[in-house]
Amino acid sequence: DIQMTQSPSSLSASVGDRVTITCRASQSISNYLNWYQQKPGKVPKFLIYAASSLQSGVPSRFSGSGSGTDFSLTISSLQPEDFATYYCQQTYTTPNTFGQGTKLEIK
């Protein structure tokens, strides 16, 4: 199975900050990398596909980059509604594996 490792596991930041979350795959996955946001008690929400393409309706402050094994999710100016847990996922091959999550908390 392809292992997905996110860093950091948790992150404290303030409204207006720029934050970056990284995701590393245990082998090359080209651009088969997606990002999700999950708030407590809620269903994961699909944000970004193909490493850098924004899903319709997702604010432009979210952006993704990377290819191969190293990827990142950047939020350019944190808003109160962005505090959540973020997951990366590879769909290069089955099983489609997820990172362990990065919890973004208010400082």
Partner 1 sequence: QVQLQQSGPGLVKPSQTLSLTCVISGDSVSSSSATWNWLRQSPSRGLEWLGRTYYRSKWYNDYAVSVKSRVTINPDTSKNHFSLQLSSVTPEDTAVYYCARAGAYSSTWPFDYWGQGTLVTVSS
**Smallest gap from residue 17 Cβ to partner 1 (A):** 26
Q: Binder to partner 1 among 44, 58, 83, 103 (CB under 8 A)? A: 44
Q: In what order do the strands lie in the sheet with 102-106?
A: 10-13, 102-106, 85-90, 33-38, 45-49, 53-54
Residue type at position 96: N
When the beta carbons of 78 and 99 are compared against partner 1, the nearer one is 99
Q: Is the peptide bond before 95 cis (omega within 30 degrees of 0)?
A: yes
List residues binding partner 1 (CB under 8 A). 1, 31-34, 36, 43-44, 46, 49-50, 53, 55, 87, 89, 91, 94-98, 100-101
